[in-house]
Structure 1
Amino acid sequence: MMAEWCKPVGRVKGVLLDISGVLYDSGEGGGVPIPGSTEAVKRIKEANLKVRFCTNETQATRETFVAKLQSLGFDIALGEVFAPAPAACQILKERGLRPHLLVHDGLLPEFNQVDQSNPNCVVLGDAAGNFSYKNLNEAFRVLIGLEKPVLLSLGRGRYYKETDGMKLDVGVYMKALEYACDIEAEVVGKPAKRFFLSALSDMDLEPDQVIMIGDDIVNDIGGAQQCGMKAVQVRTGKYRPCDEQHPTVKADGYVHNLAQAVKILLEHLH
């Protein structure tokens, strides 16, 4: 297969990587690196390509999350990680919004600096076990009581893969609240354009100089392509063969895993 995705208009100078399902599969006890992925990240950096990690991870603070990845052997620094919670905090401050939080306990410290009294919006993250009827209903009551309800969702994923199988993601609960309140959520994180563009601007690169590598056909691949990037899907993580027949999104390339993507990319650069 000709790797056309390696030859965008501008020479490739940077890589955007999804984390869960590309670098590792999360799960009890921290998760498991996908074979070859720690080495692949190292090779990207040794080739002097800029790299940023664009994740919709919202179960832990970036600090905790990055420390976990470092302990698994990944060369990853806090400043290289773009996650929805810090982006949401920026939006809350810009717009004077006070959130009612329905998020994972591990994420709460990200919102320490944000006024949460007398909430005038709801922020929804991947709350996992916190997604009880009681908690969803509480968020619903806040929204339905507002004249102009604002729902910020930290991503819109349907499911993701952990070591013990597939798990429902935040998008499912976002849809429930949208339906109940007859509103449309604002998505912070992938596939929102603003989220990808902030990572590109941090690298100081144009979309045609950057390749996105992810396991989510809609949020990683579709989101990146909407910003003008080439995007490659790995056949790891939540990937399923039917993704290759997706009705609206077609990846620029499909690879077995991150290691193969990096191998092809570096062969074309030299």
Structure 2
Amino acid sequence: MAAWGQRLAGVRGVLLDISGVLFDGAEGSGVPIAGSVEAVARLKRSRLKVRFCTNESQKSLGDLVELLQQLGFDISEGEVTAPAPATCLILKERGLRPYLLISDGIRSEFDQIDTSNPNCVVIADAGESFSYQNMNKAFQVLMELENPVLISLGKGRYYKETSGLMLDVGAYVKALEYACGIEAEVVGKPSPEYFKSALQEMGLEAHQAQ
């Protein structure tokens, strides 16, 4: 216990993942992991700041939070750092017009983004949309650009649903990186900048959070 006490000395906040940590889920449903609802409630009753940091890219932020609330979690949209809203900010700041290789579940997040005459590609966990036709279109867009930009909402290898392990976006990102001879910009875990943005929302430094 003393070791844990020393480790937590000076900690003022906690960053929590969602999928596979708070719940195991599938499209439109989910099952809380045993004790997770109670753990979140206990953290929120403590002196610690709590923020949720996810790579979820099949559900919009609103749909994800609604699902979590239905499962019993005390959570609001303002407490979640998610890759789609963060990507939209980057696109607007840099004047980028993406070809979107994404799930229909998050397409609404990009409603205010100009997608005409694409000058970059945004890729996420697109599920059934990872067809040869769509992957080849993303490849063609990138190869036609003088300075190709590939932005990925995460770079995970796989994730867990109630039905078992599922192939994640990272495999498809690697395919485009290899074919185009480029490196993707990752918005989401494990990007250090993504965690820094979550810490900024909490008003904490890295050494103050777990």
TM-score by length of 2: 0.96
**Bigger shift: residues 20-29 or 102-111:** 20-29
Residue-by-residue CA offset, 1:242-268 (whole Å, 9 max, x unaligned): xxxxxxxxxxxxxxxxxxxxxxxxxxx
CA distance in 2, matches of 1:4, 1:91: 41
Map 1:157-236; keep pairs closer than 5 Å: 157-211=156-210
Deviation of 1:83 after TM superposition, in Å, equals: 0.6
In structure 2, what is the equivalent of residue 130 of structure 1? 129
Structure 2 counterpart of 1:59, one-letter code: Q
Pair 47,117 (structure 1): closer, same or farther in 2 beyond 3 Å: same
In structure 2, what is the equivalent of residue 229 of structure 1? none
**Contact 1:153–1:186 at 8 Å: present in 2 too?**
yes
Unaligned segments of structure 2, at least 5 residues: none
In structure 1, what is the equivalent of residue 52 of structure 2? 53
- In the alignment of these two chains, the number of paired residues is 210
CA distance in 2, matches of 1:33, 1:3: 31
Deviation of 1:126 after TM superposition, in Å, equals: 0.4
Residue-by-residue CA offset, 1:161-199 (whole Å, 9 max, x unaligned): 000000000111000000110110000111111111111
Pair 197,75 (structure 1): closer, same or farther in 2 beyond 3 Å: same
In structure 2, what is the equivalent of residue 17 of structure 1? 16
| 2:88 alignment partner, SS class | helix
**Contact 1:9–1:208 at 8 Å: present in 2 too?**
no
Map 1:63-78; keep pairs closer than 5 Å: 63-78=62-77
| 2:14 alignment partner, SS class | strand
Q: Provide the identity percentage.
A: 64
| 1:97 alignment partner, SS class | coil
Structure 1 counterpart of 2:86, one-letter code: A
In structure 1, what is the equivalent of residue 6 of structure 2? 7
Deviation of 1:43 after TM superposition, in Å, equals: 0.0
TM-score by length of 1: 0.75
Deviation of 1:26 after TM superposition, in Å, equals: 1.3
In structure 2, what is the equivalent of residue 26 of structure 1? 25
**Contact 1:188–1:195 at 8 Å: present in 2 too?**
yes
| 2:151 alignment partner, SS class | strand
Aligned Cα root-mean-square deviation (Å): 1.3
CA distance in 2, matches of 1:143, 1:3: 53
In structure 2, what is the equivalent of residue 225 of structure 1? none
Deviation of 1:5 after TM superposition, in Å, equals: 5.3
**Contact 1:10–1:208 at 8 Å: present in 2 too?**
no
| 1:116 alignment partner, SS class | coil
